[in-house]
Amino acid sequence: MLDVPRERVRYLAGLLSAQRRMLGTRRRTRALTCNYQALMILIWFRKAEDTALLGAGFGISRATAYRYITEGITVLAAQRPDLHDALKRAATDGWAFVIIDGRLFDSDRSSETTTSVNGKTIDAWYSGKHRDFGANIQAVMLTDDLPIWAADAMPGHLHDLTCARELCVTAALNWAAAELDLPALADAGYEGAGHGIKTPTRQPADGKSLAITNRTVNRLLRGLRWQGERGFAILTGRWKTLRHTTISPRRIGDVVAAALHLTHFEYRYLAATR
């Protein structure tokens, strides 16, 4: 039994069918129909089943199972909205602010290396903060916990602010604050992100206590920001394959975007556009 509504299977099957028509795939040349392929993909997302065993259960080879799952990830990730469009919709829907946050999505160790700011050779996908290998994913959430947009994967050794800047997330949030009157709340790691991105005031380096005004603002920001930071928990709680992936870390962004689209369908967040 798979605890996924039948309508979601039909929806994904429709996307896969459109993809096959676009590629010019002839009828009855695939090992699985669109419905069975959609079901297999959803099982992989929902239960994180071993791909070889999953393929055997559907009567296909391991290589074919990998190819079908990759195709499903690509089709779903292609539905990811543009960040500016997502922010416009949030403003139109009447939200007073959004939350920007980053998370390290765990993956197998990668042999890719890079040079640190100190000139040392380090593992590109290793996060010293989390002491684990993975990809840094930036996401924008509403205050009801729902993520509305997720970025491409960035190497785990990078800080949240660096990733957000390189992906132009901070620029889009600065624009939203100025043009849409939609500020963003963030943790202290985004300090200096620019106009409209509100971060808490750090403790003074000399050990002195923060002014009462700053402590009040920090408490207010924490009380508002936590509601949106649960957005990552919604994704990893519902789609178990996000808890640990064995694919290339650079593909994690597409997997998260695919899971995000499935979540939007589940929460009927696509109703206004589909």
- Kindly write down the DSSP assignment for every residue of 142-198, as one continuous string: -TTS-EEEE---EETTS-HHHHHHHTTHHHHHHHHHHHS---EE--GGGTT--TTEE
DSSP category for residue 242 = G
The boundaries of the domain holding residue 39 are 6-77
Q: Are 163 and 102 in contact (CB under 8 A)?
A: yes
The reported pTM is: 0.91
Domain boundary among 77, 109, 128: 77
Domain boundary among 49, 77, 105: 77
Bridging pattern class, strands 154-155 and 197-198: unpaired
223 and 185 in a single domain? The answer is yes
99 and 38 in a single domain? The answer is no
181 and 131 in a single domain? The answer is yes
Residue 271, in any domain of the structure: no
Return the H-helix or E-strand segment holding 140: strand 132-141
User: Residue 274 — pLDDT band, cuts 50, 70, 90?
Assistant: very low
Q: Are 201 and 208 in contact (CB under 8 A)?
A: no
73 and 87 in a single domain? The answer is no
Total of domains in the chain = 2
- Does residue 29 surpass a pLDDT of 70? yes
Q: How many CA atoms lie within 13 A of 200 on its CB side?
A: 20
Residue-wise pLDDT tens digits, 5-23: 889 999 999 999 999 999 9
Residue 157, in any domain of the structure: yes
pLDDT value for 273: 43
pLDDT value for 4: 82
